[in-house]
Amino acid sequence: MAEVVGTSTAVDTPGVRGESAQWNGIQGETTADGFAGVVGLAREGVNSHGVLGSSFKANGVLGVSAADGAAGVTGVNDVGDGPGLNGRSVRGAGVQGASTESTGVFGITTAAGHAGVTGINDSGGIGVLGRGRIAGRFEGDVEVTGDLSIPNADCAEEFDIAGDELIQPGTVMVLSDDGSLQPSQRAYDTRVAGVISGAGTYKPGIVLDKQATDGIRQAIALLGKVYCQVDADQASIAIGDMLTTSATPGHAMRATDPSRAFGAVIGKALGSLPSGRGLVPVLVALQ
């Protein structure tokens, strides 16, 4: 039998009410294994709550645990199809999880066909948002039933770079004898591999073959739009011109000799440069 029992049959009258000006309004403690300090049950009634906490200036309900593997607040639904824990808010987060040493929010399910974590926005917004140096990591297959939108420009792949210094984005790169890449040095070089991605306003949309090595690796634009260093002193460059490697290190030029261009074309110019050297947007299409 409970030491304290509160019962109410009147509307808007709690069974038990606790108030405090300087401490907890109601505090429950237990030393028994498998039992809670406070339990709230709602056996009947629509939209009833086992425990309801309300506050105008602080937390409505605060749960604290100092035990390893134990939660500050646990919600359980062993019978119905409702949630074990429900959070709702008008302006803030419906449910917020924060941790300084582990996962902020963790969801797991053993039911086939169901998600460990589900995010839904029926108003046309974002269902799930991830932000960070790595905004999301998926250990397994990824299935997308709608469009996959990637705002950035090119499809790039990382390659080992010859030497011990980073190469400037926009530099035209060719294969060396050991398979690493180095800046181009001669005209119509059939070893051309692509352009260092990331120059100007174009950033890589997809980067393949990322891996940790002791040497230097950089992303090379193999397909899509990229800013490329060009030398227009060899021949003026207009939109639509095919570009190849030039004798100017790391620069492209207009391919004026079709007989030498086969296998040495970098792509098609998307901008123009009458003379001099500079960055020009290029549609990469190695051929």
Give pLDDT, residue 84.
Answer: 75
Q: Which two tokens stand for residue 110?
A: 């053993």
- For residue 197, the model assigns a pLDDT of 96
Is residue 89 within 8 A of residue 95, CB to CB? The reply is no
Alpha-carbon distance 271 to 238, whole Å?
6
Q: What is the pLDDT of residue 166?
A: 94
Q: Looking at residue 201, what is its pLDDT?
A: 93
Joined tokens for residue 228: 């490329």
Backbone angles phi, psi at 27, to 5 degrees: -130, 130
- Three-state DSSP at 197 gives coil
Contact 271, 280 (CB under 8 A): yes
d(CA 238, CA 273): 7
E-strand stretches of 122-191: 154-161, 172-175, 181-183
DSSP structure string for 96-109: ----SSS-SS----
Q: How many CB atoms lie within 10 A of CB 121?
A: 10
pLDDT of 189: 97
Cα–Cα nearest to 215, from 163, 156, 178, 169:
163
Q: pLDDT value at position 193?
A: 95
Identity of the amino acid at 33: D
Token couple for 50: 């086992």
Q: What pTM did the predictor assign? A: 0.68
**In the chain, where the domains are located:** 154-285
CATH superfamily, with its number, for domain 154-285: Head decoration protein D (2.40.300.10)
Q: What is the mean pLDDT of each run of 10 residues along the chain (287 residues)?
A: 64 71 76 75 64 68 74 75 77 81 84 84 86 88 86 90 94 95 97 95 91 91 95 96 97 96 96 97 91
Contact, 167 vs 220, CB < 8 A?
Answer: no
Residue 192's nearest CA partner among 164, 155, 224, 220 is 220
